[in-house]
Amino acid sequence: MTRLVVFLFCLVAAAPASWAKPSVTAARVGSHPAMTRFVLELSQAPVFEIFTLQDPYRVVIDLPEMDWRIPPEEVPRGQGVIEDLRFGLFQPGRSRVVLDVKTPVKVGKVQTLRPDGKVATHRLVIDLQTVSRSAFHTKNNRKIVSRTPLPAIQAAAVPTAPGKPPSDRRPTVVIDAGHGGVDPGARGVSGAVEKNLVLQYARELRRQLLASGRYRVVMTRDSDVVLPLRRRVARGEQAGGDLFISLHANIFKSRGVRGASVYTLSEKASDAEAEELAAKENKADVLSGVNLDGQSQDVSMILIDLAQRETMNLSKDFANTLVDALGKSTRLLPKPHRSAGFAVLKSPTVPSVLVEVGYMSNRSEEKLLRSRAHRKKISSAIIKAIDNYFKSHG
Ligand SMILES: [Zn+2]
């Protein structure tokens, strides 16, 4: 036995460095009159897919799952045609870089360079040329792929939620941690990142719900991955959800603003701030480089069927209960229940609310939001509201 352990230990110790996860070590932009050159430095020869998207114009570079080893201050932004750059996990096995570009562009020459005397890393060099709007539409349909292809995108990258077993009579609560992967969501004054913060709240809420024994719980995501808004809604429906709770954290230009708030779906926004917030939250798919295939991103609700009206009423009931419960344990925004056209709340069958747990733009609230004690407190308030809701609608 001892010998076996020693043998195994040696195997692990001798594992070559190449077993480490491949990484992106630098990103550079060269701005020239006729084109912008974008260079990624990588720890291994690049395997890639490159394509463009419109509304707004973006260049998407997919790579195998990689670590991003570039400090935030070294990420090139606002150079050449590149306005902004995001990186994150698109799905297990595939990382994504999204470049927001100022003009329509064509992906010109793409080169891969091996380490040489000057640079010790592999490089992926992409030339972007500004083209007219019409040239973008006629010439930009092709995807540029490396000789070794990336594994195909899995349609069911996020396992579909299991349906409800007929023997289980407990209500199903669907918890949706907002954003993820290449879409970080909002950033707080001291660096809290919405996608990570809300995943912690989602996990704490799940923990407490399961501990109660009264509910079935389904999470739309339980890792740092991209999940299109429609897929979140679909997961809630497939799971036979009785309640869908989307968790977010907000920021605002005036730092003094703080407090939790709850949102439901409505055709017309309750106020300008709710409308602005919905527009921001609905941009998640755009930020993630999700190809909407010409599907309208417009979430105006001109036609809402009867099922949706009934569901909207239930959502409002739950939102009212939730505001009461949250108000007993944390500070609320003035007029804490608001409404607008949030795409993630559009299920016609699952009553849905979106909770902004607070403002990360307020220094003391950001600090509070990051504390474990506050997560516990917010989660127990949400559970009180869930209990009350099912008492009257169970
Ligand atoms: Zn959000």
Using 50, 70 and 90 to split pLDDT, how confident is the model at 37? Answer: very high
Using 50, 70 and 90 to split pLDDT, how confident is the model at 142? Answer: confident
Question: Is a pLDDT exceeding 80 seen at residue 326?
Answer: yes
Q: How far is the CA of 389 from the centre of ligand 1 (A)?
A: 24
Using 50, 70 and 90 to split pLDDT, how confident is the model at 285? Answer: confident
71 vs 195, more confident: 195
Q: What is the pLDDT of residue 139?
A: 62
For the segment 252-272, the average pLDDT, to the nearest whole number, is 94
Q: How far is the CA of 32 from the centre of ligand 1 (A)?
A: 36
Q: How far is the CA of 219 from the centre of ligand 1 (A)?
A: 16
Q: What is the pLDDT of residue 149?
A: 86
Q: To the nearest whole percent, how much of the chain has pLDDT over 70? A: 88
Reported pTM: 0.80
Q: How far is the CA of 265 from the centre of ligand 1 (A)?
A: 15
Q: In degrees rounded to 5, what are phi and psi of residue 365?
A: -70, -35
165 vs 370, more confident: 370
Q: How far is the CA of 235 from the centre of ligand 1 (A)?
A: 18
Q: Where are the beta strands (DSSP E) in 32-131?
A: 36-42, 49-53, 58-64, 67-68, 82-91, 94-101, 105-113, 122-130
Lowest mean pLDDT among 174-183, 294-303, 377-386: 294-303
Q: What is the pLDDT of residues 95-137, one digit of tens each?
A: 999 999 999 999 999 999 999 988 899 999 999 999 888 888 7
For the segment 260-279, the average pLDDT, to the nearest whole number, is 93
Question: Is a pLDDT exceeding 70 seen at residue 322?
Answer: yes
State the Cα–Cα distance between residues 235 and 226, nearest whole angstrom. Answer: 14
Using 50, 70 and 90 to split pLDDT, how confident is the model at 14? Answer: very low
Q: How far is the CA of 221 from the centre of ligand 1 (A)?
A: 14
Q: What is the CATH number of domain 21-145?
A: 2.60.40.3500
Q: How far is the CA of 110 from the centre of ligand 1 (A)?
A: 35
Structure tokens at 341: 């056209």
Q: How far is the CA of 114 from the centre of ligand 1 (A)?
A: 40
Q: How far is the CA of 248 from the centre of ligand 1 (A)?
A: 4
Helix axis angle, 194-212 relative to 372-393, nearest 10°?
Answer: 50
Q: How far is the CA of 226 from the centre of ligand 1 (A)?
A: 13
Q: How far is the CA of 278 from the centre of ligand 1 (A)?
A: 9
Superfamily of domain 172-393: Zn-dependent exopeptidases (3.40.630.40)
Q: How far is the CA of 139 from the centre of ligand 1 (A)?
A: 35
Q: What is the pLDDT of residue 160?
A: 56
Half-sphere exposure of 136 (CA within 13 A, CB side): 19
Lowest mean pLDDT among 31-45, 108-122, 124-138, 147-161: 147-161
Q: How far is the CA of 76 from the centre of ligand 1 (A)?
A: 24
Domain parsing of the chain, residue ranges: 21-145, 172-393
Residue 155 DSSP symbol: T
Q: How far is the CA of 176 from the centre of ligand 1 (A)?
A: 11
Helix (H/G/I), strand (E/B), else coil: 234: helix
Q: What is the pLDDT of residue 243?
A: 98
Lowest mean pLDDT among 30-34, 187-191, 342-346: 30-34
Q: How far is the CA of 210 from the centre of ligand 1 (A)?
A: 25
Q: What is the pLDDT of residue 140?
A: 58
Q: How far is the CA of 383 from the centre of ligand 1 (A)?
A: 21
Q: How far is the CA of 247 from the centre of ligand 1 (A)?
A: 7
Beta-carbon contacts of 201 under 8 Å, excluding residues fewer than 6 positions away, are 177, 247, 357, 375, 378, 379
Q: How far is the CA of 64 from the centre of ligand 1 (A)?
A: 27
Q: How far is the CA of 199 from the centre of ligand 1 (A)?
A: 11
118 vs 384, more confident: 384
For the segment 263-277, the average pLDDT, to the nearest whole number, is 93
Lowest mean pLDDT among 24-38, 127-141, 217-231: 127-141
Q: How far is the CA of 320 from the centre of ligand 1 (A)?
A: 21
Q: How far is the CA of 259 from the centre of ligand 1 (A)?
A: 15
Q: How far is the CA of 194 from the centre of ligand 1 (A)?
A: 7
Q: How far is the CA of 296 from the centre of ligand 1 (A)?
A: 20
153 vs 343, more confident: 343
Q: How far is the CA of 195 from the centre of ligand 1 (A)?
A: 8
Using 50, 70 and 90 to split pLDDT, how confident is the model at 162? Answer: low
Q: What is the pLDDT of residues 58-70, one digit of tens each?
A: 999 999 999 999 9
State the Cα–Cα distance between residues 220 and 181, nearest whole angstrom. Answer: 13
Q: How far is the CA of 228 from the centre of ligand 1 (A)?
A: 13
> Cα 109 vs. chain centroid, distance in angstroms?
31
Question: Is a pLDDT exceeding 70 seen at residue 383?
Answer: yes
- The segment with the largest mean pLDDT, out of 16-20, 146-150, 156-160, 183-187, is 183-187
Q: How far is the CA of 250 from the centre of ligand 1 (A)?
A: 6
Q: How far is the CA of 7 from the centre of ligand 1 (A)?
A: 49
User: How high does pLDDT run on average in the chain?
Assistant: 87
91 vs 317, more confident: 317
What are the b/e assignments for 82-96, b being 16+ CB within 10 Å? bbebbbbbbbeebbb
Q: Are residues 393 and 314 in contact, defined by beta-carbon separation less than 8 angstroms?
A: yes
How many contiguous H segments (helices) and E segments (strands) does the chain have? 9, 16
- Angle of CA points 67, 204, 331, to nearest 5°: 110
Nearest to 125 by CA among 114, 140, 142, 109: 109
Q: What is the pLDDT of residue 34?
A: 84
Residue 13 DSSP symbol: H
